[in-house]
Amino acid sequence: MAATRRKRRAAVRHPIVHLAARALLIVLVGSVGSVLLLRWIRPVTTAFMIEARVAAVIAGDSHYRSEYRWVAYREISPQLPIDAIADALGDRGDGGPSRGASTITQQVAKNLFLWPGRSWLRKGIEAYFTVLLETLWPKRRILEVYLNVAEFAPGTFGAGAAAQRFFGVPPSRLDAEQSARLAAVLPAPDRLHADRPSDYVRERTEHIESEAQRLGGPAYLRALSFQ
């Protein structure tokens, strides 16, 4: 009887294990395939854009509008990428170039694939996608996508939309101060304003400009293989 019960339990466990293995394989193939496709294909939208739209609908905000316009890396002022890296380094301490670049990769993973929150599950998925991105994408692609999907104000995604909205110029004509101001609002685009900078934003802007100069300006991007 005992042997029969063991066989029955084993028979129940077998399909469960089989289904779990298949589900894991589907997730792995799907995630790797998605990351590989986005290495060459422009993202149509992101998880954060979708979440922002859904949140607006739930809140009954009929005035919410989102603007997202893809701009190729070569059409973005070289000041903005270096300022974004300088901001990443400054916010998390002087961890060196790899730390700043890794921080930007994490932001890309969050924006593209994840939901807001701080759970351990989310952190684990974020780490997984960060590794995939750093493994499968060149550094320049990571930075290009980051500058196109980052939220610079509620509903304003990417350097193209932000440059036009706040300064009335294409992203290729952003100067050092404008680029630093855009980078300065990235930590909290719902509270910090590039067009109406508070004292705090002005201080962050000056710090980012100083840090970018210390790194060597746009030439620093070439040293990191971003160009």
- Look at residue 219 in the predicted model and tell me its pLDDT: 81
Please say whether the dihedral angle defined by the alpha carbons of residues 183, 188, 190 and 193, taken in this order, is positive or negative. negative
Q: What are the residue boundaries of the structural domains of the chain, listed by start?
A: 1-38, 43-223
- Look at residue 216 in the predicted model and tell me its pLDDT: 85
- Look at residue 91 in the predicted model and tell me its pLDDT: 55
Q: What is the pLDDT of residues 94-113, one digit of tens each?
A: 444 444 456 899 999 999 99
- Look at residue 227 in the predicted model and tell me its pLDDT: 52
The predicted model scores a pTM of 0.85
- Look at residue 87 in the predicted model and tell me its pLDDT: 85
CATH 1.10.3810.10 fits 43-223, yes or no: yes
- Look at residue 207 in the predicted model and tell me its pLDDT: 93
Distance separating alpha carbons of residues 227 and 58, to the nearest angstrom: 42
- Look at residue 99 in the predicted model and tell me its pLDDT: 43
User: What residues contact 113, with CB distance under 8 A and at least 6 apart?
Assistant: 31, 34, 47, 125, 129
Which segments of the chain have a pLDDT < 70? 1-14, 90-102, 223-227
